[in-house]
Structure 1
Amino acid sequence: MVGAKEIAAMLGLSISTIGRALADDPRISAETKARVRKACDQMGYVGNLPARMMRGGSSNFIGLVLPDIRNDFYASIAQTLSECCDRNGFHVALSITSDNRETEYRHLRDLVGARVAGTIIVPTAAPRRDSVALLKRAPHVQMLRKLPGVGGAWFGIDDEAALYDAADHLLRLGHRRIAYIGVSDRRSTSMDRLRGVRRAYAAHRADAELLSVYLGPSNAEAGEQAFEQILNASPRTSAILSASVHVTHGVLRAIRSRNIDIPGEMSFVGFGDPEWYSWWGPGLTTVQLPVQSLATSCGLWFLDTLREGSEQALQADHQSTSAAQLVVRGSTGRR
């Protein structure tokens, strides 16, 4: 691999001069800088990031810690943040935790050890104390889920309002026996979503006892299992409301396998909005998440704050909320 030594030998310059030219040091003339950059391009020079950081340079990598990228929502967040960082001279180092607190700790430790410029994280529900300590010491921003006691900035979605709107839509159509399928954990998002559904019942003065709540893991199998329980319930549920992308996929699979008439037999509101939701059956009424605005606002704020070097701003309790939107298609009808 071509290094500074080879470039220096080719141009007849010292290694220190090469390093200063690449760092845009004002002590080096514009002509010399241009010669060095041209030689680097011609010879395929690749900078030594660890060495540059030991000399006091800074990393241009941003750690992005996500639970998974198997659904379009997190994949789109990763894509948008990567493009945002790339336009601003940074690169994303992606970490997938699978919502495992031990994996989360190991990845955070490695990212901090690699001296990334900062970390954007969707935290697990119950992280290790070591993970919390690492976050408190390093520039970071939480996304979607919010950990109490960590401090720093948070960018998320108004989950309570999103599920309020979805439940309100079904209640306005005359549905009262609604089955809510959510996620059974201590994440702030899970609790906010269920709170929104219950608030909609209260606003309509509907009997809260008619709301059936099914809580389980956030995966397609949980959606299928909950759907089977809903079908066997008596009296029959007239509408289903999902609060998870993976759960939505499981319910859709179950609907297809059981050949359920939607919305003739039952109305259904999903969560998330990949493009194919509009092609499914009559089209899926769903909670569309603000991926672009959320990821872009988070990325730009974080990068601007990192450039300013404002430790106070990074530790401040900055909060930013993006609104989801209910997209009404053919999977919901009047009771």
Structure 2
Amino acid sequence: MVTTKDIAIKLGFSVSTIGRALSGDPRISEKTKQAVRKAAEELGYVGNLPARMMRGGSSNLIGLILPDIQNDFFASIAQALSESCDREGYRIVLSITGDDPETEMRHIRDFVGARVAGIILVPSAGLKREGVALLRQVPHVQLLRYASGPDDLWFGIDDNDAMERAASHLLDLGHRRIAYVAASERLSTGRRRLEGVHEAYRKRDIAPEALTVCLGTPTATWGERAVNEVLAMPERPTAILSGSAHVTMGIIAALRRARVDIPDQMSVIGFGDPNWSEWWQPPITVIRPPIQSLATNCALWFMDRLRTPGDQLVASYHAISSSELVLRSSTGRPAGD
């Protein structure tokens, strides 16, 4: 590995001069700094972050903890966060937990041990007390989901309102037997989205018994299994509302496999707006969260917080964004209506 000694030999400078030049010491002339940076680049020098931090420097790494990155929803969030942080001189380090609390805690511990500048996390439903204790040692902010215990700093969407508007659209079309397929209420997003669906029924004074609720893990596999159960019901629902991006993929796959016509036999509203939802036949009506702006605002606010003196930091901050209901061709009036 190339060291500062190698750069010093190449330029005929002392190792201490090289170190000061690389750290931006004002005592070193700009001409010397440029020569050192050029030589470092030519030799392939990579700075020793732990050593720099021991000398009082700071990390420019931000840990990003996500449940998964196999769908457009979280992948888009990671992309937007990475771009925003990069423009401000920070680098995103990605961690995938699979929504497993043990994996989540281990990754939090690794980030804290690596002395990252901060952590942005989408917490699991079972965030452990040990994980909470570790988070309190480093600046952090929660994104999308909210777990009690860590600092009260959160960027999310108005899940209740988004799902109420989606359910209201189906009810206004004449649907009463709606299947809501989504993530467990153990997740904060799961709770708030289900509350929104119930609110739509309450506002129209429609008996909630007409609603079929299928809650599980936010995966495509769960979406498929839930839809298969719905289709086997003696008096099956006339519409399916998804409360998760991954679940939406499973719903569409199961309906296609069962040759259920959308929307003539089953109206569908998905969650998230991946590219395929618009060109699918028929194009899918979706709840479109403001992923790009949400992630960008979270990143910029968090980096500003990292630069703010401790005595000026706020103890609590919530930023809530609204989603859009995008009407396409996958919803219609119930058959025979």
Provide the TM-score with structure 2 as the length reference. Answer: 0.96
Aligned partner of 1:238 in structure 2 is: 238
Query: Equivalent residue of 2:136, what SS?
Result: helix
Aligned residues of 1:140 and 1:152 also touching (Cα < 8 A): no
Cα distance per residue 1:11-70 (max 9 Å; x no partner): 222212111111111111222212212222222222111111111111110000000001
Letter in 2 for 1:271: F
How far is 1:158 from its partner?
0.7
CA contact (8 A) 1:269 1:332 kept: yes
2:304 aligned partner: 304
Moved beyond 4 Å, runs of 4+: none
In structure 2, what is the equivalent of residue 105 of structure 1? 105
1:129-181 deviation per Cα after TM superposition (whole angstroms, max 9, x unaligned)? 11000112210000111111322411011111110110011011111111111
Which residue is 1:6 aligned to?
Answer: 6
Matches within 5 A, 1:135-150: 135-150=135-150
Query: What is the SS of the residue equivalent to 1:181?
Result: strand
C-alpha contact (below 8 Å) 2:99/2:124 kept by paired residues:
yes
Q: CA deviation at 1:231?
A: 1.5
Task: Give the match for residue 68 of structure 1.
Answer: 68
Which secondary structure does the structure 1 equivalent of 2:307 belong to?
helix
Taking the aligned partners of 1:238 and 1:84, their CA distance within structure 2 comes to 43
Rounded Cα–Cα distance in structure 2 between residues aligned with 1:198 and 1:121: 29
Show the 5 A alignment for 1:1-335.
1-310=1-310, 313=313, 316-335=315-334
Runs of at least 5 residues in structure 2 that lack an aligned partner in the other structure: none
Bigger mean CA deviation after superposition, 209-218 or 194-203 = 209-218
CA distance in 2, matches of 1:185, 1:167: 18
Distance verdict in 2 for CA 1:150–1:287, change over 3 Å: same
* TM-score normalised to structure 1 length: 0.96
TM-superposition CA deviations, 1:265-300 (whole Å, max 9, x none): 111111111000111111001111211011000000
Q: Is the 8 A contact 2:159 2:189 kept in 1?
A: yes
* Inter-partner Cα distance in structure 1 for 2:113 and 2:285: 45
Q: CA deviation at 1:185?
A: 4.2
Q: Select between 40-49 and 283-292 the one with higher mean Cα deviation.
A: 40-49
**Aligned-residue RMSD, C-alpha:** 1.3
CA distance in 2, matches of 1:217, 1:45: 46
Q: How far apart, CA to CA, are the structure 1 residues paired with 2:291 and 2:310?
A: 27
d(CA) in 1 for partners of 2:14, 2:277: 61
Q: CA deviation at 1:309?
A: 4.0
Aligned length: 334
**Pairwise CA distance, 1:121:** 0.4
The one-letter code of the counterpart of 2:246 is H
Equivalent position SS for 1:229: helix
